Amino acid sequence: MLRFIPIAAAILAVLAGLASLYGGRLAERQLELGSSAVLAQTRASDTWAEYQAQSLKAHINAAALAVAANASTRAKLAADMQSYRQRQPPLMQEATKLENERTQLLDSMDKAVTKKLDVDVGVALFQISIVLASVAAMTKRPPLFIAGLVGGAIGLIYCVVGLLR
SS (H, E, C) 91-145: HHHHHHHHHHHHHHHHHHHHHHHHHHHHHHHHHHHHHHHHHHHHHHHHHCCHHHH
Q: What confidence score (pLDDT) does residue 165 get?
A: 86
20-44: average pLDDT: 97
Asked whether residue 2 carries a pLDDT value surpassing 90, the answer given is no
Question: Which region among 73-77, 96-100, 131-135 has the lowest average model confidence (pLDDT)?
Answer: 73-77
Mean of all residue pLDDT scores within the chain: 94
Q: What confidence score (pLDDT) does residue 66 get?
A: 85
38-51: average pLDDT: 97
- The pLDDT-based confidence of 74 (bands split at 50, 70, 90) is confident
- The pLDDT-based confidence of 21 (bands split at 50, 70, 90) is very high
pTM of the model: 0.77
- Residue 85: which domain range? 2-164
What total number of domains does the chain contain? 1
